Structure 1
Amino acid sequence: MSNKKALVVGINIYKTSKNNLPSCVNDSNKFSDLLKDSYGFTDICKIQNREATFAKIDQQLEWLFKNAEPNAQLVFYYSGHGYRTPKDGLLKECLVTSDEKFFFDDKFSTLTQRLPPGILSIILDCCHSGGMEKAFFSGKSGEERPMVKAWVPPDEELENSSKPETDRTLPYQKFGQSITERNFVSTNADASSSLKSLISQPKSKQVNGLLMSACKANEKAIASTVYTNGLSVFTFGLIRSISSLGTKISNNTLLDHTTQQVQKQLKKSKLGQTQTPLLIEPDRPKGLGNLSFITFEPAEKSASFTDKPAEKSPVFTDKPAEKSGVFTDEPAEKSIVSTEASDRAMLEELSQAISGSAKMLSMLADISAMSNRD
């Protein structure tokens, strides 16, 4: 049995056509290729579009977590719509399956508790601030209008969807995380009392795995733009960063560079939009952010983060990483060529200067000899 298993989900086509997305199937294909080509995964279950129902995802998660051993590497990747809605006295985040059912993290988190710690990576390219908001950014005529990856309910259900006042009065639970007072802002005493009752009860378990998500809870994840090669902005940034930096970088470094890439693409598209990828570490083991992505092996220090803006950083070039020479102890090939050419030019100039000096000395000697004869 393989110790590297992945469940990869990409949903473009939803039950309600206005929720269809352009880039999630491409995301799932490219991420599967990354797992195979860069991380050596062979046991990958990829489900897309109408196949990615609630029942199918639930079934395949059981497969993913079954008989996991301490040396396993497990990955759950999802690209599609997210949402948040009231449930059990909480405002909870969820994933939206192709049959438009809400996949909450209750069972998901419970299943992960039986896993050995430090073997599961979860990557979510979606957002949860949906409801009344439009499914795309409106722009001037001729400007790009990229899709937002937050599910919009059917018209007849909009009145029952999450309202701003609900957002402020219910404890908020992010996908894969436990309920804490830090997630909750209340403006009335009844809601505060409700929270105290909830947190006095056994808390929902935080997912037993490292979670990387596309944006903050109050932000929107953007689908593909004309600059992201048919991929959603977050997945594009993630894959581009790994391709440039290699697979031995830490999760924290990868997050920093992915964020740079995301902001770079949004700036190109002139959307005026902020999208901030997040990295959530589990309670145990500590320090997974400092280990390498997916493998959780020690990260290479040579691939450290640069404080330079992404636009100027040599890391994010369109040239393959093997040729860029950015993260090696030796200068890049082009730098060597440039240095040798510069040295040759300096030697030629120095030789010409010496030759000129010799001629000048010879002329001065001739003048001196003529003066002595006179």
Structure 2
Amino acid sequence: METEKKPVSNTEVAKKAILVGCNNYPYPITKLKGCHNDAYNMHNTLIKRFHFDPKRILVMVDTPGSKNMPTAANIIKQLEKMIEDADEGDRLFFYFSGHGMPLCDNGESKQAIVTCDRNLITCMDFRYCVSRLPEKATFTIMADSCFSGGLIDEEPVQVGLPYIVPHNETCGGENTPKMIPYESYMANLSSTTGLNDPDIGAHLIQLFGSEVSIMFQQSTGQNPLPIMKADQGILLSGGEPSEKTVDEPADKNGPAGGAFTKAIVAILKGHPAPITNKKLVIMARGILGNKKDNPQHPCLYCSSKNADAIFLRKASHGRAEIGETSEDRVLED
């Protein structure tokens, strides 16, 4: 069987990653248990499997006193820096494990991730990031959160069929859905801002000012729409745009963690040969979609060319990848 070998060259292709795990959401948002573990699982996978330099991986988890607290402002700041510093052919990776939420913008369904301070980073923010990539650089996003399908706005779907979630579908057992109901989120914002306004943007702007998503800034004329163009964005989502994902509790098989992240890590460990984005998502879809309780249907959003590209190993235009190894991080119980 062909195995993935670390290339050798005098010139390095930059591979950089930002890994985010949000567990400790403020009341009344449901706290999660496995998102920090998910981030560290991906950290270990990037180093051992894909030879990322640990110095080029930023882990952001919401532990008390964290130097890199995953607020929306901090995450956007790090994303912008990663993109601004990128060169032609570089490979960038953003991973998120935490709550997600559906939105509506001018009658269109949109998606967002919820950061530890209750602020939102929306599909339009990720579209803006992708649209600013240097030539031939790629930006892979992996989202283990509810409603994460479509998290790069307007990105074409390559794996994923329309899937309508039954209205009575809930998470079984001790699994926790990685979602915040829109009505509950709005009620919480209203109790904080004191505004009687159905516009979610009005509440977020009052709370976070210029740190709100570009989706809400454009409604006030602060920022233009992100540039739409052919891009190198790649999204692996834990489910369909209308689907819940789950945070599984610790059990005899291991510590708490997201079902999607566990599936991806297990596939990569059991599949040492290079694997395409499309095959990786199809395999994860096969594992999670057949579960009796809480089935999930991971999706892939990207160009058809990137669907057939090797996961995190796109052609490097003569610049090889050089990385280091690292000891495993200790996962939380």
TM-score, normalised to structure 1, is 0.58
Aligned to 1:174: none
| CA apart distance, 1:62 | 1.1
What are the residue-to-residue correspondences of 1:1-374 with 2, within 5 Å? Answer: 3-42=14-53, 43-49=56-62, 51-115=69-133, 116-117=135-136, 119-128=138-147, 137=171, 144-152=173-181, 153-154=184-185, 156-157=187-188, 208-225=232-249, 226=251, 227=253, 229-246=255-272, 248-263=274-289, 266-267=291-292, 271=293, 273-282=294-303, 286-297=304-315
Q: Using CA pairs under 8 Å that are at least 6 residues apart, name the structure with larger relative contact order, 1 or 2.
A: 2
Does the residue aligned with 1:287 lie in a helix, a strand or coil? helix
CA 1:69–1:135: 2 relative to 1, 3 Å: farther
CA 1:206–1:223: 2 relative to 1, 3 Å: farther
Does the residue aligned with 1:235 lie in a helix, a strand or coil? helix
Distance 2:86 2:127 in 1: 15
Structure with a larger share of its residues in helix: 1
Structure with a larger share of its residues in strand: 2
| CA apart distance, 1:218 | 2.2
Quick check: 2:277–2:310 contact (8 Å CA) kept in 1?
yes
CA 1:82–1:52: 2 relative to 1, 3 Å: same
Does the residue aligned with 1:31 lie in a helix, a strand or coil? helix
| CA apart distance, 1:105 | 2.8
CA 1:27–1:2: 2 relative to 1, 3 Å: same
Distance 2:27 2:105 in 1: 22
Q: Who wins on radius of gyration, i.e. which is larger? A: 1
Letter in 1 for 2:31: N
Quick check: 1:136–1:147 contact (8 Å CA) kept in 2?
no
| CA apart distance, 1:118 | 5.1
TM-score, normalised to structure 2, is 0.65
Question: For 1:145-185, what per-residue CA distance to the aligned partner results, in whole angstroms no more than 9, with x for missing partners?
Answer: 200011233583599599xxxxxxxxxxxxxxxxxxxxxxx
Letter in 2 for 1:145: E
Distance 1:83 1:31 in 2: 23
RMSD: 3.2
Distance 1:36 1:154 in 2: 37
Q: How many pairs align? A: 245
Question: For 1:17-64, what per-residue CA distance to the aligned partner results, in whole angstroms no more than 9, with x for missing partners?
Answer: 542111111000100110011111120011012611011001110122
Does the residue aligned with 1:76 lie in a helix, a strand or coil? strand
Question: For 1:265-305, what per-residue CA distance to the aligned partner results, in whole angstroms no more than 9, with x for missing partners?
Answer: x33xxx2x3310001113xxx4111121011249xxxxxxx
Distance 2:264 2:283 in 1: 8
Letter in 1 for 2:312: I
Quick check: 1:136–1:146 contact (8 Å CA) kept in 2?
no
Question: For 1:296-316, what per-residue CA distance to the aligned partner results, in whole angstroms no more than 9, with x for missing partners?
Answer: 249xxxxxxxxxxxxxxxxxx
Question: For 1:113-141, what per-residue CA distance to the aligned partner results, in whole angstroms no more than 9, with x for missing partners?
Answer: 12124521110111139xxx99963x5xx
